[in-house]
Amino acid sequence: MRHLYFGLLSVAASGCTLYQPMLGTLPAVRKSGDVAAVVNWKFPYGAQAMAVASPVPNVLVLAAGGLHAYNAKRDSSNNYVRNRQYEAGLGGYLTVGHTWLSAAVGAGQSRSFRYGRFKSPDLIGGAIIAPFPSSGGKGRYEPVPELLGYYNTRFAQVTARWPDVSHPNKEYGASLRVNQARFTSLMLNGVAQPHASQYYLQASVLVQQPLWRWLQWQAGASWDVALTNISNEAAFGRAPLRVLVGVVLEPRQARAEQSKSIP
| Tens-place pLDDT, residues 159-201 | 999 999 888 889 999 999 999 999 999 998 888 999 999 999 9
Give me the sign of the Cα torsion angle 152, 181, 66, 82.
Answer: negative
C-alpha distance across the termini of the chain, in Å: 37
Give the Cα separation of 161 and 166 in Å (integer).
Answer: 15
Give the Cα separation of 185 and 75 in Å (integer).
Answer: 23
Q: What pLDDT sits at residue 43? A: 82
Reply yes or no on whether the pLDDT at 232 is more than 50: yes
pTM of the model: 0.79
Cβ-contact 241, 12 below 8 angstroms: yes
Q: Which helix or strand (DSSP H or E) is residue 48 part of?
A: strand 46-53
Cβ-contact 112, 151 below 8 angstroms: yes
CA distances from 258 to 95, 215, 254 (A): 11, 16, 6
The pLDDT of 231-244, averaged and rounded, is: 83
Mean residue pLDDT of the chain comes to: 81
Return the SS3 of 10: helix
* Secondary-structure class of domain 2-261 per CATH: mainly beta
Amino acid letter at 262?
I
The pLDDT of 220-235, averaged and rounded, is: 89
Residue, of 96 and 250, whose pLDDT is higher: 96
Bridge pairing between strands 191-192 and 171-188: antiparallel
Give the Cα separation of 243 and 114 in Å (integer).
Answer: 22
Partners of 105 in beta bridges: 90, 156
Domain boundaries, the chain: 2-261
Query: Phi and psi of 104, rounded to 5°?
Result: -150, 155
Q: What pLDDT sits at residue 4? A: 33
